[in-house]
Amino acid sequence: MLNWLFKKKYPKYWKKYLDHFTNGQPKSINEIKFVVFDTETTGLNITKDRVLSIGAISIMSNVIAVNDSFEIFIAQEHFNPETVEIHGLLKEGNIDKVSEKEALKQFLKYIKNAILVAHHIDFDISMINQILKRNNLPKLKNQLIDTGALFKKTKKCDNALKNYSLDHLAHVYDIEKHDRHTSQGDAYITGLLFLKILAELNERDHLTLSEILYSKLNTQNYF
């Protein structure tokens, strides 16, 4: 009963997002929808820094549909000139930007209950969760996959303790590094990386979702 009262004060878009989780994921990996995403931020400090853009693509049965992809730019008050060199996003700029809240709404609407995939996902998830927190909402409910951690399950990984950069893995898997450091460009590269690692792990077609999910424990570090 309490729970019901509690839930009630959440906005509509959050409730809609939650509704998608009433059904579980399909059994076969080929039927599961993955959303691979990346954020460009003003810096690496989870609480101080802000998300400038979110890019995402969807993958289902090894296919990336270009017309089902996501790219949004966010207007932020906080600005860090030092990271402009990396992502090229200026404070003003001439790209159409939306408010953080609007970006959040659209992102939730896009991801639904898909499995979220990112490279070093702790950071990106934390950044999104901070947005949620600023909007008085709980954390994301989606199951997660980290391509950095997933790589460590492959034979190509020679040192499980090392943190492999996206650039390094793109090189290992022969992925063209176009549009690095645009959120959608990185999401696309991460998407291809995910597909290739997945294919390598799933050679015999026996792989189950639970084997590739990112251990939740790791995500706790940031909170």
Partner 1 sequence: MKNTISLRIADFLKSYPPFDVLTKEQLSSISENIKVNYVTKNKMIFKENDDVNDCFYVVKDGAIGVFRDQKILVDQCDEGDIFGLRALIRKDKYLLSAISIEESIVYAIPAIFLEEIINTNPQVGKFLLTSFATNTRNPYADDDKGYLYKEHLDTNEKYAFLNSRSANYTKNPIQCSIDITIKEAAQIMSTQNIGSIIITKDSKPIGIITDRDLRDKAATGQVTVSEKVSAIMSSPVKTFSPDITISEAQIAMIENSITHLCITEDGTPDSSLIGILSEHDIIVLHGNDPSVLIKEIKRASDADSLKTIRIKANSLLKTYIEQQIPIAFISKVISSINSSLTRRAIELSLQEVGDKIPVNFSWLALGSQGRKEQLLLTDQDNALVFENIPKDQLEETRSFFVSLAKKVTAKLNHIGFEYCPADMMASNPSWCLSLDEWKAQFDDWITNPNQEKILLCTIFFDYNHVFGDKTLAEEMSKSIFNATNRYGIFLNFLGLNALKNPPPLSFFRQFLVEQSGDHKDQFDIKSRVMMPLVDAARLLILDHNIKDVNNTILRYEKLIELEPQNKDLYLFCIRAYKILLTFRTKVGFKNGNSGRYIDLHSLSKADKLELRSTFKTVKEIQELIRIRFNLAQML
Contact 61, 33 (CB under 8 A): no
- Which of 49/179 has CB closer to partner 1? 179
Minimum Å gap between C-beta 173 and partner 1 is 9
- Which of 204/216 has CB closer to partner 1? 204
Contact 163, 123 (CB under 8 A): no
* Binding interface with partner 1 (CB under 8 A): 55, 57, 62-67, 69, 71, 178-179, 182, 184-185, 188, 192, 195-196, 199, 203
Minimum Å gap between C-beta 62 and partner 1 is 5
- Which of 76/184 has CB closer to partner 1? 184
> Taken in order 75, 115, 193, 70, is the CA torsion positive or negative?
negative
Q: Any residues with CB less than 8 A from the CB of 220 and at least 6 apart, and which?
A: none
- CA 133-139-65 angle, 5° bins: 115
- Which of 2/66 has CB closer to partner 1? 66
- Which of 111/219 has CB closer to partner 1? 111
- CA 54-30-155 angle, 5° bins: 80
Minimum Å gap between C-beta 2 and partner 1 is 42
The number of beta carbons lying within 10 Å of the beta carbon of residue 44 is: 11
Minimum Å gap between C-beta 188 and partner 1 is 5
- Which of 36/219 has CB closer to partner 1? 36
d(CA 121, CA 214): 9
Minimum Å gap between C-beta 178 and partner 1 is 5
Please compute, for residue 61, the number of CA atoms within 13 A of its CA located in the half-sphere on the CB side. Answer: 5
Minimum Å gap between C-beta 61 and partner 1 is 9
